[in-house]
Structure 1
Amino acid sequence: MSDAPEDLDAWVTALAESLGLPADQHPVGLLLDLTRDAAHGVVRPAGPLTTYLVGLAVAQGMTVEDAVARTRATIDEWKAGGSRPT
């Protein structure tokens, strides 16, 4: 296993092709940053689950940029104590 960026790019390309998705349209850096923000701003397991939910929102027609912006706003609200269910 390697942490080299080219290995990550190769993995994303291989997985995208396996899932029948275009191989060159994935904002890897944006999603990794968002995953980190969720993991550190909420709890660690929130990272991958957040990215999954963003993917669902994008699949339903939201742009990835809008989904990420809304998610970051929700993380900020969560950290401030405002988005937690009662």
Structure 2
Amino acid sequence: MNELREWTATLCADLGLDDARDLDCAAVVAMARNVGRVVSNPAGPVTAFLVGMAVARGLSPADAAARLDELTRRWPRIDWRD
């Protein structure tokens, strides 16, 4: 068991959540990394938390991912080379 899987299983147990079999860690990490690059580094983990809240309130993970992808694509980017 790798460290991330061990951590998420332990955290889920401690928080009283069902085990994380359906958790796609790679997708969550990619989401946070992408938002961190497009918006700002602190926006990555905050976004992951907010998307998790939305899913917990009934939004499907696929819909949440699609909405986030669309919003990220529309977000204005700063070209630091100027």
| TM-score, normalised by the number of residues in structure 2 | 0.85
Pick from 10, 15, 20: which aligns with 2:11? 15
Q: Could you tell me whether the CA contact under 8 Å between 2:54 and 2:64 is conserved in 1?
A: yes
What are the Cα deviations for residues 27-86 of structure 1, in whole angstroms up to 9, with x where unaligned?
1111111001100011110000000010010011011121111111111111369xxxxx
Q: How many residues align?
A: 77
Structure 2 residue runs without a partner (length 5+): none
1:79 alignment partner, SS class:
coil
Mapping of residues 6-85 of structure 1, within 5 Å: 6-23=2-19, 24-79=21-76
2:6 alignment partner, SS class:
helix
| TM-score, normalised by the number of residues in structure 1 | 0.81
Root mean square deviation, CA, Å: 1.7
Q: Could you tell me whether the CA contact under 8 Å between 2:39 and 2:77 is conserved in 1?
A: no
Structure 1 residue runs without a partner (length 5+): 82-86
**Share of identical aligned residues, percent?**
32
Which residue identity does 1:25 align to in structure 2? D
User: Runs of 4+ in structure 1 displaced over 3 angstroms?
Assistant: none
